Structures are given as C-alpha cells and as structure tokens.
Amino acid sequence: MKKTTKIGIIICDRYRTCAGGKCLRALRNKEGAFSMYTDTDLELVGYTTCAGCPGGNIEYTGEEMVKNGADVIHLATGMLVGYPPCPHIQTFKDFITMRYGVQVVVGTHPIPQKYLDLHTGLGTWSNPSWAPLIEQAMSDEQTRKAYD
Ligand code: SF4
C-alpha cells in the first residue's frame, strides 16, 4: 500500500483571498514542487497565510500543522513570483525547519511562464541565492504555460 505524505501550505498574505486553485491543482496532479512525491499519496492537512509582512504567522502556524500530522510544509510559489518576491523566504524555511523539526519545501504550483518571463526580464532572481529557492517550482515550459 502506498504511504500518504501529509502536506501543509503557507501562502503569501498578499494573496489571502486566493482559493488555492493553482496550489491544489498542482498537489492533485503532482506538478511543480509536488512532482517530487512520486511514490506517495498526498493529503493536505493545513493551509494558511503568513499573516502579512513580516510574516507573524510563521512563528505559530508550523506548530498547528505539525500537530495535525504535517510531514512537509510548502511555502507557496506566490512568495516567489509576487512582486517583489518575499524577502523572508529563507528565514521562514530555516525557522520552521529548526523550530518544528519538519521538512520545508519552497514552492507549490509550477511557476507560471508569464511570471518567469517577467522576473527574468527584471533580473529578480539573477542573484545565485535564488536558484535553490525557485528550482522546485520551475517545471518544464509546457507545464509552466499550463499555469499561466
Ligand atoms: S511578502 Fe513575505 S512576509 Fe510579506 S506577506 Fe508575502 S509571504 Fe508574508
């Protein structure tokens, strides 16, 4: 029997009214950052926002997600593609990992092609420190276009 990996998602509060369409579609289809789960089923056990800059909910929401069984917490792709991208992503990742002993992955749904084009043009991610942050959500061009 396949095991089930329980997932928590934290989104950027700028998109607090988002119904989660792209993230949930990617989770269901195992696309974007969810493509790493080739041998396990996925179950969403938490979904919330950072509560707005500078991310006050990050300190607490990990605890609730872990109590609810989260094996992995994903920081939503919106934190990467919004303009400007969240400047605290690495801090969030490090904090949640250390404080709650849970794996944290940056990215949820594939980066939409139009955002890749925009940020490439702007040089947003030209600093090499962005490379490990965007890699999980990068996907192939066809998949990125399907999320435009
Ligand atoms: S930019 Fe970062 S800290 Fe600000 S609302 Fe978005 S995720 Fe939260």
Instruction: Give the domain ranges of the chain.
Output: 3-146
Query: What are the tens digits of pLDDT across the range 14-31?
Result: 999 999 999 999 999 999
Side-chain half-sphere of 33: how many Cα atoms within 13 Å? 27
Query: What does CATH list as the number for 3-146?
Result: 3.40.50
Q: Mutate which of 57, 58, 86, 106 to test ligand 1's pocket (most atoms within 8 Å of Cβ)?
A: 86
What pTM does this model have?
Answer: 0.97
Quote the pLDDT of residue 2.
72
Quote the pLDDT of residue 1.
63
- Residues in contact with ligand 1 by the CB-under-6-Å rule are 12-14, 50, 52-55, 79, 86, 88
Q: Ligand 1 atom 7: the closest Cα is on which residue?
A: 12
